Amino acid sequence: MTQQKHYPQHIDLEPVLHAQGVVRLPGSKSISNRTLLLAALAEGTTTIHDMLASDDTMVMLGALRSLGIRWDEVDERTVIVHGNGGVLPEAAADLFMGNAGTAIRPLTAALAVIGGDYTLHGVSRMHERPIGDLVDALNAVGAQIEYTGEQGFPPLRIRRGHITANRMAVRGNVSSQFLTALLMAAPLMATTHPVSIDVVGELISKPYIEITLNLMRRFGVEVEQNGWASFTVQPGQRYQSPGTIHVEGDASSASYFLAAGAIAGGPVRVEGVGEHSIQGDVRFADALERMGAIVTRGENWIEVQSNGMLKAIDADFNHIPDAAMTIAVAALYADGPSTLRNIASWRVKETDRLSAMATELRKVGAEVEEGPDYIRITPPDELKPATIDTYDDHRMAMCFSLASLDGKARRGNAMRINDPKCVAKTFPDYFEAFAGIARNELF
């Protein structure tokens, strides 16, 4: 679906005096890939509107096609998926999953339950991203998943197992995607008896589980909750197509533009998410409010403008780990040191984001303390121009575009962003959208 576009080896961003404008967001990656898989597993045909066209959704679409699921592209943002009622026409397939965690984790669970002979592999970084907790949970109840490389990591070989247990357990403190995967596969297991999933330890990124539960409900499956400790799917429920479904704009992508409004005047409005969004990352705007920005919310939009220099923040960001990266760069414009806590999950994302963020923030002049699950950022008196390495991580590239902004007391600088093509993972047109809110007049 994604239009192939040419990216240079680097992009040079000139200092931006003022940020102002309106941005229409691309579709949510988390919602898009969950919806694609649920539509494939459902009975009936589902038309998906406003879907994200990106590398990660292309990975999921390609995998579904390899598994025999038919889908038709109406346009770049609309796909019709012909569900097959929990059955896969192709009982054997070799699936390339790129670096798409939102694709490989749920597919692993679904394929393990449905059964067949499947191999799943990806780029080298995918083979460094843990999947052992999910595999252990599935193998413990009769799945047959083998590691073909390092134990605990992809690549995987999935053969036909025999899942019989009605209770599963998975650790919650590495990635919420493991629980999401088991939840989405649970109705395929709960044919004659309930299936319960117990969460061992703390569950991180709870808002992403809320997205999963909301979408399962849209496809006709109710999940019973015992707080965040356990989840139960009663027997006899099957995924049913809702007919048509619209994908919300990506709230994580919204964070860059909202932060730009907070740093460099504004107002900047994003369209596609609003006050009733099912995505937890809309709470990023709450963090900007705590830092002193003026935030206004509507049904399908959020708008931010600055209210003087940003205030330093010390907060737990476990609930919005992806959007929290944007706070780390916004902290460059704050009136003192900021501390982002409970973000250990950064280390197992597209790169080790804690280490990468610390390294690049130091390049622009910040003092940085990097802990096992926190980062403390002391802003410099003046930002330095820098060449930013992106580590093949889309969020690193988008975050550091903000260092080109003029925050009055702390002027932005020319920034060179290396390997800008990494934004294609979730937002192929990011730099064009960023240029669209860049103004040369003072505010």
Report the binding-site residues.
Answer: 29-30, 34, 101, 129, 175-177, 205, 322, 349, 353, 395, 425
CA–CA dist 415, 11 (Å, integer) = 8
Report the binding-site residues for phosphoenolpyruvate.
Answer: 29, 101, 129, 177, 353, 395, 425
Are the C-beta atoms of 13 and 364 separated by less than 8 Å?
no
Examine domains 10-26+249-439 and 29-246 and report if their fold is the same: yes
Note the pLDDT of residue 5: 74
Looking at the DSSP assignment, which residues form a beta bridge with residue 12? 416
Q: Could you report the per-residue pLDDT of 109-131, keeping only the tens digit for each?
A: 999 999 999 999 999 999 999 99
> Any idea what DSSP says for residue 240?
B
CA–CA dist 87, 74 (Å, integer) = 24
CA–CA dist 390, 8 (Å, integer) = 14
The single residue of 56, 250, 281, 322 carrying the catalytic annotation is: 322
Six token digits for residue 184: 């989405």
Superfamily of the domain at 29-246: Enolpyruvate transferase domain (3.65.10.10)
Report the binding-site residues for 3-phosphoshikimate.
Answer: 29-30, 34, 175-177, 205, 322, 349
Please give the CATH number for the structural domain made up of 10-26+249-439: 3.65.10.10
C-beta neighbour count of 143 within 10 angstroms = 24
Are the C-beta atoms of 427 and 397 separated by less than 8 Å?
no
Specify whether 322 is catalytic: yes
Q: What ranges do the domains of the chain cover? A: 10-26+249-439, 29-246
- In this structure, the strands spanning 195-200 and 167-171 are parallel
Positions of the chain with pLDDT lower than 70, given as ranges: 1-4, 409, 442-443
Note the pLDDT of residue 2: 44
CA–CA dist 294, 382 (Å, integer) = 24
Note the pLDDT of residue 317: 97
Note the pLDDT of residue 423: 97
Note the pLDDT of residue 92: 98
Instruction: Give the relative orientation of helices 29-41 and 176-189 as an angle to the nearest 10 degrees.
Output: 20
